Amino acid sequence: MSFIPGSLGFDEFGTPFIIIKDQHKQRRLTGIDALKSHIMAARSIAKTLYTSLGPKGLDKMMVSSDGEVTVTNDGATILNMMDGIHPIRIADGFELAAQSACKHLDSIADSFPVDINNLEPLIKTAMTTLGSKIVNKCHRQMAEIAVNAVISVADFDKRDVNFELIKVQGKEGGRLEDTMLVKGVVVDKDFSHPQMPKELKNVHLAILTCPFEPPKPKTKHKLDVASVEDYRALRKYEQDTFNEMVKKVKDAGATLAICQWGFDDEANHLLLKHELPAVRWLIAIATGGRIIPRFEEVSKEKLGYAGKVSELSFGTTKDKMLVIEECKNSRAVTIFIRGGNKMIIEEAKRSIHDALCVVRNLVQDNRIVYGGGAAEISCAIAVSTEADKISSIEQYAYRAFADALESVPLALAENSGLSPIDTLTQVRARQIKENNPALGIDCMLVGTNDMKEQNVIETLHSKKQQIILAAQLVKMILKIDDVRVPGEDF
């Protein structure tokens, strides 16, 4: 009976009833009041996001419950940090209107060239995505990094991009301009000895899960050293054991030892003496090598390969990292972001992720629509036209959906310092007159409303997803008609 929100009681006739805990401290909304509450909450969220749209959109400062501050204009981040007609008829009408809008998007979509020998169109598209972000002062560089990362891991035969192969990593210190794309992996480790070489070429790696130390009995033991000869014999045994371990790794052809466990200073010295660079406390990396549990099993076939292994140092700090590039049988890449502080790096990560998603979408489906609110205006016109053909009550939902679509170009115009209603009216009239769905809001004030000329584009896939998800969210909200919330003194 744990699903009952209280305790179960019985009256004198044996009729059961539920006693709800702290009922006097709770407030309940039902029916139309619940719907009004959800609609007001949705409008409040929309109002918060309204001024963040477009290249001149404003940033929002979000303060979490533990005092952590995030400054961003990324809509998804903002949402993640924020805590008459029958509703079902409205929801159904919105869903039909969304389907009509998506069908219209298919008819106005253009094909976008995706050619690995000419990446410039993809770079320009990624630059458009990054135009309003914190990285816009070096957004050409960031766009090139995003495009090259996706192209490196893309499977053009299947038209698929595995994001698991793209790792985004940040390090405080330095400038955004120091951000780089590594065709391999970056690990937060360094060579075990400061005198080991800082750069290795054509590296064969032995990935070991066995420690560099003399074998010890698995039972409790006691070793008495009664004389100098006993100590020297023990010392010689340890040195011979270490030498044998290093020899087995070297004989297999390894030029770098990656060890899951640490090793003491003597073993480290012997590795340096035998010119075998090593890294400790590292489990496994994407080098194509197999994990070796015992020194007796070290062989050439189990070694991994990397074209280059180098150690990065960061200014006057003692921070060091290893860059492992050109890994065998692996297309993994790492975007290594630098920034003055953690907040800059986190926002840069979100910006890069947006650019990666846009390029990924173009690889999967190279159809595009035009931005600047052009696609929304065109869809609003199409949905309004469709509403005129409907005689049922759903026509009102269609018209409301068209009005909602126009809120995007209205926000873009207002955030760019333009007169929202006048600008939207002019662009809408021109779209109908010229039959040109590429006309949008001139946010950058370059003198033309043609988004095709300004190269402001969006992927068809993402635009359809936005409309479908918005309609689903409305349907989810309208289906709730009962809310129970704690009172103010609870």
| Whether 29 contacts 417, CB under 8 Å | no
Which parts of the chain sit beneath pLDDT 50?
1-3, 78-79, 82-83, 489-490
> Distance from first CA to last CA of the chain, Å, rounded?
25
Burial class, 369, CB count within 10 angstroms (exposed 0-12 / middle 13-18 / buried 19+): buried
Classify 147 in phi/psi space as left (phi over 0), alpha (psi -120 to 50) or beta.
Answer: alpha
Using DSSP's 3-state secondary structure scheme, residue 146 falls into: helix
Q: What are phi and psi of 12, to 5 degrees?
A: -70, -15
Residue 333: closest CA among 291, 290, 286: 286
Q: Please give the Cα distance from 429 to 448 (Å, whole number).
A: 15
User: What confidence score (pLDDT) does residue 190 get?
Assistant: 79
Q: Which residue segments constitute the domains of the chain, with CATH numbers given?
A: 26-86 (no CATH), 92-111+369-477 (1.10.560.10), 184-215+230-329 (3.50.7.10)
What tokens were used for 120? 């410039």
Q: Give residue 315's pLDDT.
A: 61
pLDDT at 43: 66
pLDDT at 2: 46
CB 130 within 8 A of CB 143: yes
d(C-alpha 321, C-alpha 327), whole Å:
17
What is the four-CA torsion angle of 425, 430, 432, 437, rounded to 10 degrees?
-100
The 10s digit of each residue's pLDDT in 462-476 is 899 999 998 888 888
Cβ-proximal residues to 86 (8 Å cutoff; 6+ apart), any chain: none
Rounded Cα–Cα distance for residues 191 and 361 (Å): 39
What type of residue is 143? A
Helix, strand, or coil (residue 9): strand
Q: Which residues contact 368 (CB under 8 A, 6 or more apart)?
A: 109, 110, 111, 112, 362, 457, 458, 459, 460
443-451 — which CB contacts under 8 Å span 24+ positions? 443/54, 443/55, 443/56, 443/372, 443/412, 443/413, 443/415, 443/416, 444/55, 444/416, 445/416, 449/372, 451/370, 451/371, 451/372, 451/374
Question: How far, in Å, CA of 359 to CA of 129, rounded?
Answer: 10
How does pLDDT run across 267-325, given as a tens digit for each residue? 777 788 888 888 876 555 566 778 888 888 888 888 888 888 888 877 656 778 888 88
The pLDDT of residue 243 = 81
Q: Which residue has the tokens 């299947």?
A: 158
